[in-house]
Amino acid sequence: MAVTRHSDAVAPVRSSGPISIWFLRHVGTSIGSLGRLFRQPFASLMIILVIAVTLAIPAALNLVVKNARTVSEGWDNALDFSIYLKRAITESEAEGLARLIEQRADVENVRLITSSDALEDFKEQSGFGAALDQLSDNPLPHTLVVRPGPANTSQSMILLQEELANLPEADLVQVDTEWVQRFHAILDMVRQAIVIGASLLGVAIVVIIGNTIRLDIQNRREEIEVTKLIGASNAFVRRPFLWSGFWYGLFGGGLALGLVQYGLFLLEQPAARLAGLYKSGVSVVALSLDESLAILGVGVLLGLVGSWFAAARHMRRIEPR
């Protein structure tokens, strides 16, 4: 009997590979863990809120330092030397002195601010234009703004200041470097304190999530014993608790971002009003995309770490009787 071969025969369907099975199991477990969180809305919300506040505090403090650094970027001219010339010095003599100082190797550039320009700028910035118009004489001197070269050291800066102060045309040399350096040193110290505080708060999040997972394990003890009785491994039983920690961290990080953004929204109008008073274009700097993703990532990581430690510790103690 001849065997007939059909060209349109359907090929047998291959079974899913191990990676697909692993992926589908994790998807099912993650959905189940998410459902357990929604079935306990009040308890889950309290835990997520604690995580969010704990993450939002260092993020908000870091934004304060970030905004302070943004404002201080416009203070580079505070590193200059301001030479207030004697009243008897004419504008042409001031220009000649500026060219002479600019020839020094330790000086990058010199800018002349005439007394008339200084008075006009003061009228605009102070708002006392009408009162200053009543003055019979301009009380402001010519000023040279000296920008030191980038190769200067602290010792050469001191020497430059002394030499400029000894000029016969100079009446006063003002240097504003110290307070700017102190301000940046304070910002660095605050940033280090934020890092230390954030680390301690991270430990607190791990403890909170770990304790929550521990209670969940105890409440499901009988279910775990039955699952192990039919041959489930510790890794299989631990999987839903890890996903619970993942969801706690993700929702906590998302809520932390919302709290920080809401705080920035509340600060927009006061910042705009302050910038208007100082006639400045300063605005509140928000979180960047990388910083937002970092907050979410840290929340997820802390959630996984806390749940893994709790599950690994208490899972070994539960064995079928």
Residue 234 lies in a domain: yes
Number of structural domains, the chain?
2
Q: At which of 168, 203, 229 does a domain end? A: 168
| Tens-digit pLDDT profile for residues 48-94 | 999 999 999 999 888 888 877 776 655 555 577 888 998 888 889 98
The CATH number covering residue 103 comes to 3.30.70.3040
Long-range contacts of 68-77 (CB under 8 A, 24+ apart): 68/187, 69/187, 70/282, 70/285, 71/282, 72/180, 72/183, 72/184, 72/187, 75/180, 77/145
Could you give the CA distance from residue 6 to residue 21 in angstroms, rounded to a whole number? 33
Greater pLDDT, 104 or 184: 104
**Residue 162 binned pLDDT confidence (cut-offs 50, 70, 90):** confident
Could you give the CA distance from residue 306 to residue 304 in angstroms, rounded to a whole number? 6
Predicted pLDDT at 6: 40
Greater pLDDT, 217 or 100: 100
| Least confident stretch, 108-122, 134-148, 175-189, 304-318 | 175-189
Q: Quick check: 12 pLDDT over 90? A: no
Q: Residues with Cβ < 8 Å from 70, sequence gap 6 or more? A: 282, 285
Q: Quick check: 9 pLDDT over 60? A: no
Residue 13 lies in a domain: no
| Least confident stretch, 12-16, 95-99, 122-126, 255-259 | 12-16
Q: At which of 135, 168, 201 does a domain end? A: 168
Side by side, the strands of the sheet bearing 143-148 are 107-113, 143-148, 81-85, 170-175
Residue 239 lies in a domain: yes
For range 15-40, the mean pLDDT: 77
Same structural domain, 61 and 95 = no
Same structural domain, 206 and 265 = yes
Same structural domain, 214 and 66 = yes
For range 102-121, the mean pLDDT: 86
Q: Residues with Cβ < 8 Å from 291, sequence gap 6 or more? A: 59, 62
Q: At which of 168, 195, 213 does a domain end? A: 168
Predicted pLDDT at 130: 62
Could you give the CA distance from residue 199 to residue 208 in angstroms, rounded to a whole number? 14
For the ranges 171-180, 185-194, 239-248, the maximum mean pLDDT occurs at: 239-248
Q: Residues with Cβ < 8 Å from 62, sequence gap 6 or more? A: 191, 194, 291
Same structural domain, 139 and 201 = no
Same structural domain, 118 and 250 = no
Same structural domain, 229 and 310 = yes
Same structural domain, 237 and 97 = no
Residue 19 lies in a domain: no
Same structural domain, 185 and 94 = no
CB atoms within 10 A of CB 141: 19
Q: Quick check: 14 pLDDT over 70? A: no
Same structural domain, 190 and 311 = yes
Same structural domain, 189 and 288 = yes
For the ranges 3-17, 202-216, 263-277, the maximum mean pLDDT occurs at: 202-216
Residue 217 lies in a domain: yes
Same structural domain, 157 and 253 = no
Predicted pLDDT at 320: 61
| Tens-digit pLDDT profile for residues 253-302 | 999 999 999 988 888 787 777 666 655 566 677 888 888 999 999 999 99
Residue 14 lies in a domain: no
For range 141-161, the mean pLDDT: 83
User: Which residues form the domain of 262?
Assistant: 28-74+181-315
Could you give the CA distance from residue 116 to residue 94 in angstroms, rounded to a whole number? 13
Q: Quick check: 10 pLDDT over 60? A: no
Residue 176 lies in a domain: no
% residues pLDDT > 90 (the chain): 19
Same structural domain, 212 and 67 = yes
| Least confident stretch, 27-31, 173-177, 217-221, 310-314 | 173-177
- E strand intervals along the chain: 81-85, 107-113, 143-148, 170-175
For range 168-179, the mean pLDDT: 78
Q: Tell me the CB-side half-sphere exposure of residue 253, using CA atoms within 13 A.
A: 21
Residue 258 lies in a domain: yes
